[in-house]
Amino acid sequence: MAQQQKTIGIVFIDHLADWEYGLLAASAVEWLGARVVALTPEGDPVRSTAGFQVSADRDFDPAQNEDLDALALIGSDCWASADAPDVAPLLKSVAGRGGVIGGICGATLPLAKAGLFADAKHTSNGREWINEHVPGYAGAANYIDTPKAVADGRIVSAAGTAPVTFAANFLRLVFPDQEPVVQEMQSFMSREHA
């Protein structure tokens, strides 16, 4: 019996980190047959750190995103600003129906703000960094200082320097029956660091 196609939403905001999403998005589609959709705060295009424009398929409205099996938030220095977009309703909607949630680099901040680290081991760009931006967040004691992504339950987190393990851990949770494929992808992408 054929596996039903999974849909992964990737959240982008202005000044998104170009290096953090490519491996995840391309591997999900090419290696695992997923459908990937781009989400931005208002459904408008955003610009990456390098100045590339990313067009959106949707905005952050939970009602538009009821088909998502997973949601990956991509880092941006704008997540640390006071006027960062509120993605908590979407995070809680996807998490509430058992979806996988991932945040890399600055995008770990909205996960902390939404309380998703309360019961999940996690990492970010540094213990002091996340505490500086979200003081007293629920689950601060669950922080793990590691250069690799951390997966716990249905939550994946990573520093901005870990796009390979972020992609691999995220895809393992979305496609638990595809471990050999994910492992092959991770090994292939990690060869230069061996």
List the domain boundaries for the chain: 7-108+163-182
pLDDT of residue 168: 98
> 36-90: per-residue pLDDT in tens?
999 999 999 999 999 999 999 999 999 999 999 999 999 999 999 999 999 999 9
CA dist 91 → 26, 49, 59, 87, 161 (Å): 22, 24, 13, 6, 23
Reduced DSSP (H G I as helix, E B as strand, rest coil) percent helix, strand, coil of the chain, to 5: 40, 20, 40
Closest among 76, 87, 65, 84 to 125, alpha carbons compared: 76
For the chain, what is the mean pLDDT? Answer: 96
pLDDT of residue 50: 97
> What spatial distance separates the first Cα and last Cα of the chain, rounded to whole Å?
37
Q: What percent of the chain has pLDDT over 90?
A: 95
pLDDT of residue 3: 65
Statement: residue 33 has pLDDT above 80: yes
Fold of the domain built from segment(s) 7-108+163-182: Rossmann fold (3.40.50)
- Rounded distance, CA 86 to CA 74, Å? 14
- Rounded distance, CA 29 to CA 62, Å? 23
CB neighbour list of residue 170: distance below 8 Å, 6 or more residues apart = 24, 70, 72, 100, 102, 149, 151, 156
Closest among 69, 150, 61 to 103, alpha carbons compared: 150
pLDDT band at 192 (very low <50, low <70, confident <90, very high): confident
Closest among 41, 11, 4 to 25, alpha carbons compared: 11
pLDDT of residue 41: 97
